[in-house]
A and B are shown apart, each in its own frame.
Chain A
Amino acid sequence: DGGITQSPKYLFRKEGQNVTLSCEQNLNHDAMYWYRQDPGQGLRLIYYSQIVNDFQKGDIAEGYSVSREKKESFPLTVTSAQKNPTAFYLCASSFSGASYEQYFGPGTRLTVT
């Protein structure tokens, strides 16, 4: 079964701790994305990567970091510098090129207290 997996589904952390969210895809997609979803707001782009070992900041990259060492994997680290980290995080992937739809994972809900 092809798809995108995110783990864990729920994550709880104390303030001041870094936390890493996992995203894996077996769709052979070149591009991967991380979004944040908050109530009443559209999805906001955190980081994206078009190819392995390369990634770009999105609209709200401050306090986050990523890596893209493998085509299938694009982990997101939420650092202690992120001022309001509690949110629903979504990973997506797509083929690269002119215009391709993005496919989303099931999401990780992060709660920081």
Chain B
Amino acid sequence: EDQVTQSPEALRLQEGESSSLNCSYTVSGLRGLFWYRQDPGKGPEFLFTLYSAGEEKEKERLKATLTKKESFLHITAPKPEDSATYLCAVQGGRQFYFGTGTSLTVIP
């Protein structure tokens, strides 16, 4: 069964404490893997697209990496404004599969 699993469900970090969020997938025919940030009550905001294993993308304190079975979103020295839910989506063929997200809280 095609599916996307994100872990952990929730993560609390001290400001400056780096960590990683995981997105594992069992979707055949990977066309792309997408990371989004979602603030409460708002629509997801696009962050990155990764297409093939070994690819990496960076934006400010965030870095996304991709292997054949999973992707990591690394957060370096997070700030309170990085607090949000981070969603992972995988496109297999024409279908998009979304994970349930990781809720990140960064404590000052």
The residues of A with any CB-CB pair to B shorter than 8 Å are 4, 6, 35, 40-43, 45, 88, 90, 98-107, 109
Q: What separation, in Å, do the CA atoms of A10 and B30 have in the docked complex? A: 36
| B44 in contact with A42 (CB, 8 Å) | no
Q: Which single member of B4, B32, B34 contacts A42 (CB below 8 Å)?
A: B4
Complex contact B100–A42 (CB within 8 A): yes
Q: Verify A101–B100 contact, CB threshold 8 A.
A: no
Bound-complex Cα distance A43 to B42 (A): 13
Shortest B3–chain A CB gap in Å is 9
Binding site for A on B (CB under 8 A): 4, 31-32, 34, 36, 41-46, 49, 51, 87, 89, 91, 96-101
B96: chain A residues within 8 A (beta carbon):
45, 102
Shortest A87–chain B CB gap in Å is 13
- Cross-chain contact B45 with A104 (CB below 8 angstroms): yes
Query: What 19 new A-B contacts, CB under 8 Å, besides A99-B49, A101-B46?
Result: A6-B43, A41-B100, A42-B4, A42-B87, A42-B97, A42-B99, A42-B100, A42-B101, A43-B87, A45-B96, A98-B31, A99-B51, A101-B49, A102-B46, A102-B96, A104-B36, A104-B44, A104-B45, A106-B43
